A and B are shown apart, each in its own frame.
Chain A
């Protein structure tokens, strides 16, 4: 076998482990080491809805272009889970590399043209560490050590990552460093390099942060001035609320009194979560809740109240796979239509679609300005892929405010006016003025209700009053786009075929577009960041002969929403909808786009 050509920083490693054995921490150490080496890296954690015992896969992809999507094929397999071994080995192609725990795995007949590195991981751990817990945990760190040697991780960086990861826990640092050294040593002594894959540090690369998507959204909400977060545990949104709590401890605690400038309240269910957020929003606080599909379904009745009574509130929907309980630990964007129209009667809600941790941070903060300005629910539509994975990103920009608190009449304002009508359209933009409870002025009080109401918030069943109010709410919706983030347009401005999508689909689409560019396919691409859609979306569609809308669901929900808003140009829209619970595959998308173009 001739020595194959070196492949540097351009391959994917799949680590097949068992849920609950501590592999997550070893995998994150590996991920962070690559990021600190300056290599563009992305990580995807594919985990079961289970605490301990089921197969988990962690994918670490490096590539010079910095693609963040999940490739279906991995060149390197780290196999430590006997339960998933059969499936894992079946996916190994010629040219691939397999590092496996030879103590626990019998891999059978080796495949041709596959490089195998057997390592007695369990045996080494058993001989080195005292307790079963340590042995199990450090088996994972051992393979990181082996990989460091085989693929050339920077060992000093690796050690620094371990030291930072177990801050102040010297014993943990010591045993992990020992496990790393044992892995390195074993590989040096027993595993001569036979494969072409390696990592090389990139000089002068810009430093990148590593942050979980949910934490990024939470940090944005903190910067945006959120003071009340009421929530109920649900995968994949819990870690967002937990991050609100921990950022609150760190960033919103009075240093002297130790009292808090934020209330993060775990309540009894999602009905209470949204109710408390609305109660706080009505009172004038920047309030939120974060949940996922089943929780958002429960919140629907209250969302209609907030829409009709015009109460600002932020809801983060970290979407997971439905219908029903679905696949709680898998990703999808199938709540788009539900969230756009949640609740009975005529409702329309503001949606925001972040694609990256940076956008999750920025839109998390901005969502409160939008909610206050428009006095309505704003739903931040992230998903499990964004929310529950760790991502490398350029550091976030400091957001110094000021907040847009919207149309709130203060005592001073009230002293200068003769009358106040809570739902009067003074500015003809559909957005009324509100007062906050506690304002000491006889004009301030009004009655907030979910029943039909007049401009002065009185009960009404009058047909004209009802219709006028509903039309004003519609007008407010038309006013909305000027306060919402504009779509991002990329690609060849002269192209006649357009692509539209939203959220995390961006990662697979950008890669697919590069692939198609090589094939000389001329395309332009618009990514919406908000609903209702801006006029720019319509203009984009108008300049195209055909617009392919890519959805991460079965029913082409984004395409449907675009068609609903721009029904006159709906025939130009060609939907591609796909969802199987995994992040979209760039190869599949590029193939589907080619098919759609050929479709005529």
Chain B
């Protein structure tokens, strides 16, 4: 139905963008469609969203979604700094930052870490394929140890895991998903958008051109084979009743800031995403067993987002006028008098 609209009166088209110019089958395009679906289904007005990115294939992908939202394609590795300033200027928008493994784990690792440390209020998606696509297949910092490049070079460096790092840095929302698992990914995107503060979402997103061979842990076949979801995810937006079928005791319910709920249906074992040490252990165990753990890996309630730490007034700073911003003549004169 072409005319179908969401609860805010927007059609799916209002969330879409121009056609992608990425390679056919690129994982990033799947993520793009999940972001579009998540925003549409949550009924977020497009003008209340802003999309930010750095440089690289992943960063290009924000061109292909949300064409009715403002977007900013920054310099390489510096997307988090734009988000920091934008949030300070206006904390009433939802920020979606899209970055890649090169953009965040290599050149932008400092900004990644400090955005987490400040608890920048954004959904921070890393489209992780372990390779530099736009510059034709060099290794990134998330490339596997001893991975082979498209041209046969061997990676001698240890990989860096942004999920593990984000948990260690105290990010309040850390998740991993797979571009091929649209259900899980869409739920996590929704939850990340409903979360207030820095939501880190690392998405394994195969590079069909440079890193989709059998030995790569970031390829479609490998992830499909080795993906260990921690739970089945159900996302219930604030405006809907819980109708997901689950039995008490088999699921954990996480209440997000806007009243939405993320329901984690337990799979193999008890998994408490609030247990930081356990989260790190599960990840570590996963590496040893060559499994890729996906789902909401860590969640911390009540971490204040950056604009709250800054104790800013409720009106966005950018909307304040002369009356709000220029000290009164009396205040100014008093200051001058003190300086005499």
Contact = CB atoms under 8 A, between A and B. Distances in A.
Interface of A: 36, 207-211, 219, 222-223, 225, 227-228, 230, 250-252, 254, 257-263, 265, 267-269, 271-285, 287, 301-302, 305, 309, 395-396, 398-403, 435-442, 444-451, 459
B88 A265 contact: yes
Nearest to A443: B68
B56 interface: no
A258 B74 contact: no
Nearest to A343: B75
Nearest to A167: B338
Top 9 A-B residue pairs of the complex, sorted by shortest distance between their CB atoms = A275-B81, A279-B85, A276-B85, A279-B82, A285-B89, A437-B70, A280-B85, A283-B89, A209-B339
B332 A398 contact: yes
Contacts of A448: 70-73
A279 B317 CA distance: 13
Contacts, number: 217
B76 to A, nearest CB: 8
Contact of A260 (B81, B312, B322): B312
Given A251-B331, A400-B329, A437-B50, A278 B317 contact: no
B63 interface: yes
B274 interface: no
Interface stretch (B28-36, B40-48, B180-188, B259-267): B40-48
Query: Which one of B85, B324, B339 has the highest number of Cβ atoms from chain A below 10 Å of its Cβ?
Result: B85
Given A395-B340, A398-B332, A305 B75 contact: yes
A284 B75 contact: no
Contacts of A259: 311-314
Nearest to A441: B47
B70 A284 contact: no
A440 B318 CA distance: 16
Contacts of B324: 261
A259 B317 CA distance: 11
A227 B325 contact: yes
Contacts of B339: 209-211, 395
A306 to B, nearest CB: 10
B320 interface: yes
B63 A395 contact: no
A226 B119 CA distance: 23
Given A228-B88, A228-B89, A445-B68, A302 B322 contact: no
Given A279-B86, A437-B93, A451 B333 contact: no
Given A283-B318, A287-B85, A450-B75, 10 more contacts: A210-B339, A268-B114, A272-B110, A275-B74, A284-B318, A398-B332, A437-B69, A445-B47, A446-B70, A448-B73
A268 B110 contact: yes
Contacts of B52: 279
B78 interface: yes
Contacts of B106: none
A228 B85 contact: yes
B85 A449 contact: no
A302 B74 CA distance: 8
B88 A285 contact: yes
B340 to A, nearest CB: 5
Contacts of A276: 81-82, 84-85, 88
B56 to A, nearest CB: 12
A272 B111 contact: yes
B138 interface: no
B63 A258 contact: no
A443 to B, nearest CB: 9
B57 interface: no
